[in-house]
A and B are shown apart, each in its own frame.
Chain A
């Protein structure tokens, strides 16, 4: 006998209860899927964002702080490398380039970062529009920056530790005149040095997509630290003959052996060197632990939901015991009644799980978009093997647990049930 017509009829007869059960299971499953998919999106997004920052050298201290400042442009107060160490690293060889990084300023809330044109080209894999900066008062903007090529930007200085109050023309004129130091005016925390936007980067999936990137000489000059070059020198870029201390230097080693060699060379009492991924892996370990705890809690919640629903189903079936008993009295075999109950319960659990999977993915996609907007780190939530395994496990457990009401109904004596 085909049990499906009766299963469908039972579902239809109790459709509101069925919808309620399926909804509750779907929500519990969606929660688990969303946590799992979001954790992976965060991990992959942050790892890929750091891909182009091959090796970072900074002053000894928290590598996490340096990483977050340089890659994710979340500036914290990091120590500067000494001018001697800066010069040694910038001119250390075995690298395609060594790019100083300076940060701390902002334009309309977006970060202003100083570095070299080579690093901009490396990070962006070529520009989307315009050209790289060739003068101290030129800038390249990130792919998502609201500023356009041709705009002139009056940059505010976030720190009151250097020069302030000079305008672009004065700065550029002084630079062109070969002056390497401009007296700061007493206007704490603010100065206005215009820069012209000459290019736009391709999307990098990093917070640099919203940044205004200027030559590092601009940072040094605007903060009264010279230009990093000999007096009278007006060019920008390496070599930096008189570089002051910088918060960090990004190195692109010439090959893999050089990468490890340089990492080892600059792990000294005066500097630290690290691959971003090695710091991220430690963060992921903590993040993974948190995700595992949360996944455990959601799994427990799912089991409780299924258990509660089974209790509800048992009560529902108890109300319908006479109908099943009538079926048996009319000659339906026990196995038919068993199959009807098992399929009924299994359908509710499978329906909830299968709706929960895309629902969870949708939640993770929305959260990913919000986090990406907040942090600038591109991330995409995807359903992977872990999420499919989670749903698969719930389906297996659900179909096993569905045997309980099926067995109870099967074993109930017909005469007793008919009373």
Chain B
């Protein structure tokens, strides 16, 4: 075996070690790119998902929707003030996992002069807002009010106090403000 031949075998071995590493990296990148593309292709807008979740606050009597005690009729897009002010009511309606609940949707409901309630893992990092026109039942009559819902979407980790302070408020209001017929406001059924 000549000196050149020995170098040739050695060179090829080194070449294939490097090429093997590069090919492995390329394959990993290829999988990640295609996987990412597929995920983006299949992704459902978070606004739509959160919309479906938030509707329960104003339509489900187990949340805050007003239900007539006699007829059992539930008034859509209504808020019963008694329920809204009830402690731990939100936990009965929407309770995220204690440890990792920040990785899913969390909400803060602001009902004008009546105050606000929030879900158990809401950390004041809203990413979007929704607005619903609702009827507020104060125990004797309905009053029109706007329910503002701040949506905190998936957080990758628990925010620090500093991040909470600097969290920019959402600028764009999304969601729907359904028109409520005037008759509904006085409908006692």
A complexed with B: no
Write the residues of chain A forming the contact surface with B, with a CB cutoff of 8 angstroms: none
Write the residues of chain B forming the contact surface with A, with a CB cutoff of 8 angstroms: none
